[in-house]
């Protein structure tokens, strides 16, 4: 068994003890130490700031991107069956209440059948023509009937929407709906415009969105999987004169805490 190497004593000169020289680091290792420590500290601070911001936003807002701009399109047609003689507007046109949107030719009586019923046909200039007028101020979003098409009474010839009455329909998770109240301010990001507009919660539907589907979910089967339901929330916004916004996607942030 070999003996342990002798311990070197500190060097003594003139009655003073001299310390051994310290280990030296290469310039490259010193440079890495000076770089890594600040970078690591910066990463920790950034991660902490992001985590705090996410936590703070979750406390102050209820957010969802499952939202669309909704409205009530008005289908305008003639009160009588006939043939479309003219359509005076195109998609995107602004119209006023009472403006003539279309003209419909009514068939003329050309005789009587053996059973006593009147025989009807279109005679061109001899036909009676009626005007189809707009019931509201708004924008034309569709012209489903073309010139020359035969239409039934009430069939849509022109579809109009009032852009000042559009709203946002946002679907909020049922786990967060208890924090939403009528009147709370809302920030709405409109993808089609690339900008934010302000709004307010107008109504909270007392039912989930699946309740109104054609095939509501049924939980009576033995393979039921719990799914977070969505609750429709109506948000009042003022979008202005925007003809192509109906049905577009938006992102909603409802401020639920001050």
pLDDT above 60: residue 21: no
pLDDT above 80: residue 46: yes
Which carries the bigger pLDDT value, residue 41 or residue 168?
Answer: 168
Which carries the bigger pLDDT value, residue 125 or residue 145?
Answer: 145
Q: What pLDDT, on a 0 to 100 scale, did the predictor assign at position 247?
A: 87
Cα–Cα distance between 78 and 87 in angstroms, integer?
12
Tell me 207's DSSP state.
Answer: S
* Structure token pair of residue 224: 């039921």
pLDDT above 60: residue 1: no
Domain ranges of the chain: 62-71+164-255, 74-161
Q: What pLDDT, on a 0 to 100 scale, did the predictor assign at position 258?
A: 64
pLDDT, one tens digit per residue, over 66-75 is 999 998 999 9
Range 59-63 contact pairs with CB under 8 angstroms and sequence separation of 24 or more:
59/257, 60/255, 60/256, 60/257, 61/253, 61/254, 61/255, 61/256, 62/172, 62/176, 62/179, 62/180, 62/253, 62/254, 62/256, 63/251, 63/252, 63/253, 63/254
State whether CATH 2.40.30.170 applies to domain 62-71+164-255. Answer: yes
pLDDT, one tens digit per residue, over 89-136 is 999 899 999 999 999 999 998 888 888 888 989 988 888 999 999 999
| Helix then strand then coil, % of the chain, to nearest 5 | 20, 40, 45
Cα–Cα distance between 218 and 202 in angstroms, integer?
30
Share of the chain above pLDDT 90, in %: 45
Q: What pLDDT, on a 0 to 100 scale, did the predictor assign at position 232?
A: 94
Q: What is the pTM of this model?
A: 0.69
Mean pLDDT of the chain: 83
pLDDT above 60: residue 181: yes
pLDDT above 90: residue 152: yes
Q: Classify domain 74-161 at the CATH topology level.
A: OB fold (Dihydrolipoamide Acetyltransferase, E2P) (2.40.50)
How far CA 242 is from CA of 162, 164, 193, in Å, comes to: 10, 9, 10
């Amino acid at each position: 068994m070999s003996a342990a190497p002798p311990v070197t004593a500190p060097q003594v000169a003139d009655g003073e003890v001299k310390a051994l020289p310290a280990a030296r680091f290469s310039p490259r290792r010193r440079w890495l130490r000076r770089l890594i420590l600040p970078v690591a500290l910066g990463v920790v601070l950034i991660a902490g700031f992001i985590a705090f911001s996410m936590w703070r936003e979750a406390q102050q807002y209820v957010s969802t991107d499952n939202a669309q701009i909704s409205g009530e399109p008005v289908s305008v047609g003639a009160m009588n069956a006939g043939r479309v003689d003219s359509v005076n507007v195109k998609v995107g046109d602004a119209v006023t209440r009472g403006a003539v949107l279309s003209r419909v030719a009514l068939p003329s009586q050309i005789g009587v059948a053996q059973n006593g019923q009147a025989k009807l046909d279109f005679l061109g200039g001899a036909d009676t023509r009626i005007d189809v007028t707009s019931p509201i101020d708004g924008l034309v979003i569709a012209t489903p009937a073309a010139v020359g098409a035969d239409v039934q009474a009430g069939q849509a010839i022109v579809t109009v929407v009032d852009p000042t009455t559009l709203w946002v329909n946002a679907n909020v998770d049922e786990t967060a709906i208890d924090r939403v109240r009528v009147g709370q301010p809302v920030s709405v990001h409109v993808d089609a415009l690339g900008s934010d507009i302000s709004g307010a919660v107008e109504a909270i539907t007392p039912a989930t969105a699946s309740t109104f589907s054609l095939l509501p979910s049924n939980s009576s089967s033995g393979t039921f999987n719990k799914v977070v339901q969505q609750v429709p929330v109506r948000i009042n916004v003022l979008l202005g004169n925007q003809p192509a916004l109906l049905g577009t996607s938006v992102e909603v942030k409802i401020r639920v805490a001050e």
